[in-house]
């Protein structure tokens, strides 16, 4: 056990005691206001919270709902560099069909001068966010371009986010699928030199979540968004566990905001997979809200826990081997079943774990089966060996305390990992 493994809770993550005298009824009611706010009201909002922190939503604009992309000119109007110079629109051949054409027609009708760049990865079915893609964008980023718009999901969003950040330009993403919670985060994930690397970038100036555009996304992407959202149940469980075991900072209001949004998505599972626009809108809101929750707390706890460590482990393994890996959210979905299995075993032996009230693995199986998601590593395309190894070593991915650290600290990780792997791989 080296010291890096030991320090799973860093000093700044510890909770500062809050002076109880400030927690008047009025103060608490004011802090809870965010729970009733619509998502388009949130950009720019800030408040003092019961957790002792000041939270602010640093995003500038958000357009959500049916036909939201039509309102894009209302946002661009505020930016001189979009009016006086050209806009570079990034897409790939799939996202061009899904939302690129529509976005161009809106922009051209409003008189904007747009240059289109369609990215692709040679000899590969999907666009990979690698050096080649970044180089292509940079080579096309001439001085007459004042603004960048990405039309796509995770990969296009991240390329647009990083290049605009590095070159001091504003960016907008027009989401084409409800596939992950990264639209509203400041991070951007890449594959550089064959390794997965996440960079700090900035918030998109505006996120456009148009349900009419997203409605046409492939099933696989629909399931991915669903998995990334339902995975918040175990992320929130890990957050409560570290609060109780390590006294780590925990924000009750942020946790509740995320959990409410996830519950609404679960209640609307069937409508979402029938592609009803109102259910897609709820899903988008949940994905954007979890992005916001990370922004306001300043860390990823509300959105990512042991299920993300497992999914990163599988992803890194595939990237190292140069083989394709499942979509992020689909991995997170299966991984959250594995985390819930560990919780189930440990909660029978330790009261502190039982108190966290983690989701039951069979509850997750039931809702994922409605979604048609993978319920076993084999269905997801992860080998038994990699799956078993991830249960034993996934906690090393990030120095962050989860149920796996708890299990290891009690000398039970090998045994519990084998129990879970045997059950899920049989
Ligand atoms: Zn995620
Ligand atoms: Zn708070």
* Mean pLDDT of the 108-131 span: 92
The CATH number linked to 114 is: 3.40.50.1970
Ligand 1 midpoint to CA 231 (Å): 8
Ligand 2 midpoint to CA 300 (Å): 13
Ligand 2 midpoint to CA 64 (Å): 25
Ligand 1 midpoint to CA 281 (Å): 18
Ligand 2 midpoint to CA 309 (Å): 24
Q: How sure is the predictor about 11, in pLDDT bands with cuts at 50, 70 and 90?
A: low
* Domain identity same for 190 and 254: no
Which ligand is closest to the CA of 252, given by its number? 2
Ligand 2 midpoint to CA 329 (Å): 26
Structural domain ending residue among the three candidates 194, 216, 238 = 216
Structural domain ending residue among the three candidates 188, 216, 244 = 216
pLDDT exceeds cutoff 80 at 12: no
DSSP string of 354-395, one letter each residue: HTT-PPPHHHHHHHHHHHT---SHHHHT--HHHHHHHHHHGG
What secondary structure letter does DSSP report for 322? T
* Domain identity same for 17 and 96: no
How much is the pTM?
0.91
In a domain, 54, yes or no: no
Structural domain ending residue among the three candidates 216, 240, 268 = 216
* Domain identity same for 73 and 145: yes
Ligand 1 midpoint to CA 328 (Å): 7
Q: How sure is the predictor about 8, in pLDDT bands with cuts at 50, 70 and 90?
A: low
Model confidence pLDDT, tens digit, residues 165-183:
999 999 999 999 999 888 9
How far is the C-alpha of 39 from the C-alpha of 43, rounded, in Å?
8
Lowest-pLDDT range of 56-65, 131-140, 354-363: 56-65
Ligand 1 midpoint to CA 305 (Å): 9
The CATH number linked to 18 is: 1.20.1090.10
Ligand 2 midpoint to CA 293 (Å): 9
Model confidence pLDDT, tens digit, residues 67-107:
999 999 999 999 999 999 999 999 999 999 999 999 999 99
* Domain identity same for 165 and 210: yes
In a domain, 48, yes or no: no
DSSP string of 17-56, one letter each residue: PP-GGG--HHHHHHHGGGGG--GGG-TT-EEE-TTS-EEE
Ligand 2 midpoint to CA 52 (Å): 6
Ligand 2 midpoint to CA 17 (Å): 13
In a domain, 37, yes or no: no
* Number of domains the chain is built from: 2
Strand, helix or coil for residue 9? coil
Q: How sure is the predictor about 17, in pLDDT bands with cuts at 50, 70 and 90?
A: confident
Which ligand is closest to the CA of 18, given by its number? 2
Model confidence pLDDT, tens digit, residues 237-272:
999 999 999 999 999 999 999 999 999 999 999 999
DSSP string of 84-149, one letter each residue: HSEEEEEEEHHHIIIIIHHHHHHHHHTT--EEEEEE--TTSSS---SHHHHHHHHHH--TTEEEEE
pLDDT at residue 10, as a whole number? 63
* Domain identity same for 206 and 227: no
pLDDT exceeds cutoff 50 at 160: yes
pLDDT exceeds cutoff 60 at 4: no
pLDDT exceeds cutoff 50 at 1: no
Ligand 1 midpoint to CA 182 (Å): 7
Model confidence pLDDT, tens digit, residues 351-365:
999 999 999 999 999
Ligand 2 midpoint to CA 137 (Å): 38
How far is the C-alpha of 413 from the C-alpha of 411, rounded, in Å?
6
* Domain identity same for 274 and 164: no
In a domain, 47, yes or no: no
Question: Residue 9 is part of which domain span?
Answer: 3-32+220-425
pLDDT at residue 134, as a whole number? 97
Helices marked H in 121-231 — which ranges?
131-140, 154-166, 211-214, 219-230
Ligand 1 midpoint to CA 22 (Å): 35
Helices marked H in 231-375 — which ranges?
232-246, 252-267, 269-273, 277-297, 306-321, 328-347, 351-354, 361-371
* Domain identity same for 211 and 225: no
Ligand 1 midpoint to CA 143 (Å): 35
* Domain identity same for 231 and 202: no
Ligand 1 midpoint to CA 370 (Å): 20
Measured from the Cβ of residue 138, the count of other Cβ atoms closer than 10 Å reads 11
pLDDT exceeds cutoff 80 at 41: yes
In a domain, 39, yes or no: no
Q: How sure is the predictor about 2, in pLDDT bands with cuts at 50, 70 and 90?
A: very low
In a domain, 275, yes or no: yes
pLDDT at residue 7, as a whole number? 61
* Domain identity same for 231 and 169: no
Ligand 1 midpoint to CA 307 (Å): 9
* Domain identity same for 304 and 230: yes
Ion ligand 1 — residues with CB < 5 Å:
228
Ligand 2 midpoint to CA 48 (Å): 8
* Domain identity same for 99 and 188: yes
Model confidence pLDDT, tens digit, residues 285-307:
999 999 999 999 988 999 999 99
Non-local CB neighbours of 419 within 8 Å, separated by 6+ positions: 341, 345
* Mean pLDDT of the 305-320 span: 93
* Domain identity same for 27 and 76: no
pLDDT exceeds cutoff 90 at 50: yes
Which ligand is closest to the CA of 227, given by its number? 1
Q: How sure is the predictor about 145, in pLDDT bands with cuts at 50, 70 and 90?
A: very high
Ligand 1 midpoint to CA 234 (Å): 12
In a domain, 319, yes or no: yes
In a domain, 227, yes or no: yes
How far is the C-alpha of 105 from the C-alpha of 80, rounded, in Å?
20
Percent of the residues in the chain that have a pLDDT greater than 90, as a whole number: 85
Rounded to 5 degrees, what angle do the CA atoms 37, 38, 40 make? 125
Which ligand is closest to the CA of 181, given by its number? 1
Q: How sure is the predictor about 3, in pLDDT bands with cuts at 50, 70 and 90?
A: very low
């Amino acid at each position: 056990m080296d010291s890096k493994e030991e320090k799973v809770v860093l000093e700044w993550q510890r909770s500062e005691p809050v002076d109880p005298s400030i927690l008047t009824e009025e103060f608490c009611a004011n802090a809870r206001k965010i729970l009733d706010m619509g998502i388009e009201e949130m950009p720019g909002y800030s408040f003092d919270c019961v957790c002792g922190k000041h939270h602010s939503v640093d995003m500038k604009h958000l357009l959500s709902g049916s036909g939201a992309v039509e309102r894009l000119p209302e946002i661009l109007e505020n930016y001189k560099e979009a009016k006086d110079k050209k806009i570079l629109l990034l897409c790939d051949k799939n996202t061009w069909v899904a939302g690129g054409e529509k976005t161009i027609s809106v922009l051209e009708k409003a008189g904007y001068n747009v240059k289109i760049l369609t990215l692709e990865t040679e000899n590969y079915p999907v666009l990979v966010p690698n050096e080649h893609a970044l180089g292509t964008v940079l080579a096309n980023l001439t001085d007459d371009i004042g603004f960048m718009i990405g039309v796509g999901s995770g990969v296009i969003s991240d390329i647009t986010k990083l290049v605009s950040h590095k070159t001091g330009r504003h960016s907008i993403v027009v989401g084409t699928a409800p596939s992950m919670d990264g639209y509203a985060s400041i991070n951007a994930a890449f594959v550089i030199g064959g390794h997965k690397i996440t960079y700090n970038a900035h918030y998109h100036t505006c996120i456009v979540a148009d349900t009419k555009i997203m409605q046409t996304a492939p099933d696989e992407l629909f399931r991915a968004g669903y998995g990334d959202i339902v995975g918040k149940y175990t992320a929130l469980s890990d957050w409560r566990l570290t609060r109780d075991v390590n006294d780590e900072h925990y924000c009750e209001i942020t946790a509740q905001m995320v959990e409410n949004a996830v519950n609404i998505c679960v209640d609307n599972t069937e409508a979402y997979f029938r592609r009803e626009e109102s259910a897609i809108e709820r899903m988008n809101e949940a994905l954007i809200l979890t992005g916001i929750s990370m922004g306001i707390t300043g860390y990823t706890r509300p959105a990512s826990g042991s299920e993300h460590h497992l999914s990163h482990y599988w992803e890194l393994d595939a990237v190292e081997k140069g083989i394709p890996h499942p979509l992020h959210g689909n991995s997170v979905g299966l991984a959250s079943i594995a985390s819930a299995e560990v919780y189930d075993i440990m909660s029978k032996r330790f009261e502190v774990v039982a108190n966290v009230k983690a989701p039951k693995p069979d509850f997750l199986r039931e809702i994922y089966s409605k979604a048609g998601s993978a319920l076993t590593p084999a269905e997801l395309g992860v080998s038994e060996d990699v799956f078993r190894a991830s249960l034993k070593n996934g906690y090393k991915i990030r120095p962050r305390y989860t149920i796996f650290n708890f299990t290891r600290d009690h000398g039970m990780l090998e045994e519990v990992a084998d129990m879970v792997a045997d059950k899920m791989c049989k």
